Amino acid sequence: MFLVLENVLDAPTIDGLRATLAGARFAEGTSTAGWYARGVKNNLQTNHDAGAQKVHQALLRHRNFRAAAQPNVILPPTFSRYVPGMGYGSHVDEAIMGAPQAVRTDIALTLFLSDPSTYDGGELVVETYSGKTSYKLPAGHAILYPATSLHHVAPITRGERLAAVLWIQSLVRDAGKREILYDLDTLRKSLWQSSGQVKTPESDLAARTYANLLRLWADP
């Protein structure tokens, strides 16, 4: 499932992150690339504990993120910087990341930190059998997508692109089952709202079905 998450970060938090990252020390992105991606990765990146904590907290407060990802483990974000001439060619993310504990990367997330009007290029392009889809979102918005996808970051021709990139191991490994749960969660919340937040047989049935499917499919 590909899902745009709106307003993950508010404007003051984005401004604070930008200010923090302006003074951070960035390294060549190839330092963390696997052998398959090293030849096509051309960016700068850094880790920042305080920034990572803000991103994690914001994601866990975001209802659509929780409903769509069913997160079990959220890896710390990497903050990436692209300036003119930089890009990241077509690649697929590593299946297992993390140390000392191995984490399966089911889902990838890119959180945009730069205003899209301030740079040219830099689209996240996800490649599927039905074609390519580009994402260049407002600052504070994120795109959630399967880590199994081939994708690339288009070269930057003007300005600077800042983003936070992270990966999630889901409680529900199967992407199709996660999508069913997301749809059912949307339905049960819609029934609750349309009834004036009064329990009905229909809302009870939707809630029970959601809980039992999650109980059946989740693998903590």
Domain boundaries, the chain: 3-170, 175-217
* pTM > 0.85: yes
What Å distances lie between residue 151 and 108, 126, 164, CA to CA?
11, 4, 16
Per-residue pLDDT at 100 exceeds 90: no
Look at residue 88 in the predicted model and tell me its pLDDT: 97
pLDDT > 70 in the chain, percent: 100
Domain 3-170 has CATH 3.30.460.10: no
pLDDT confidence tier of residue 99, bands split at 50, 70 and 90: confident
For residue 219, which of 71, 86, 107 has the smallest C-alpha distance?
A: 71
pLDDT band at 101 (very low <50, low <70, confident <90, very high): confident
Rounded CA-CA distance 210/202 in Å is 12
Beta bridge partners of 168: 74, 107
Q: What mean pLDDT is reported for the chain?
A: 95
pLDDT band at 27 (very low <50, low <70, confident <90, very high): very high
**Is the pLDDT assigned to residue 36 strictly greater than 90?**
no
Q: Please, how many CA atoms are within 13 Å of residue 114, restricted to the half-sphere of its CB?
A: 23
Separation of alpha carbons 6 and 37, rounded Å: 29
Whether the pLDDT of residue 33 is over 80: the answer is no
Q: Span 18-37, mean pLDDT?
A: 87
Report the chain's C-alpha Rg in angstroms.
Answer: 18
